[in-house]
Amino acid sequence: MGEGRLEQPARHLTGRKVLVVGAGTRPDDDPRAPVGNGRAIAVLAARAGADVACADVAAPAAAATAELVGREGRSGITVVGDATEAQQSAAMVAEACADWVGWTHWWSTWGWVSAPGWKARPPKTGTRRSP
């Protein structure tokens, strides 16, 4: 096994669509700076076989993560918005749903939600669905 990377990752998310909110990592001049949780989740989801929508308030950070998803052989798209604003959150979900039908999972820096009922439509603002 390579250091820090599995030789043959599990593909338990093959065919899934994942929206990761907070997928960007802020730029840092320190080469030892850690990768942010959202970026790590996006890349790991791609390694597990999922296509990933990378959402962040900073477009360049989200785009950089989407590029990393693409390097894993999966489709990555960039979605921009502020998750602390209800209207922007709803718009991010709607944008991701417009690009891909059949979303199955959503990850944010606040938690993970598996939402089988999200088939091509965003949830109502303020609602939560859990696995």
pLDDT in tens, 41-77: 999 999 999 999 999 999 999 999 999 999 999 999 9
Q: Is residue 11 part of a domain?
A: no
Q: Is residue 65 part of a domain?
A: yes
Strands 111-114 and 105-108: antiparallel
Q: Is residue 66 part of a domain?
A: yes
Q: Looking at residue 60, which CATH number applies to its domain?
A: 3.40.50.720
Q: Is residue 63 part of a domain?
A: yes
Stretch (H or E) spanning 2: none
Q: Is residue 19 part of a domain?
A: no
Q: Which domain holds residue 70?
A: 35-114
How many structural domains is the chain composed of?
1
Please give the mean pLDDT across all residues of the chain. 77
Q: Is residue 105 part of a domain?
A: yes
The SS3 of residue 46 is helix
Q: Is residue 75 part of a domain?
A: yes
Q: Is residue 90 part of a domain?
A: yes
pLDDT score of 42: 94
pTM above 0.95, yes or no: no
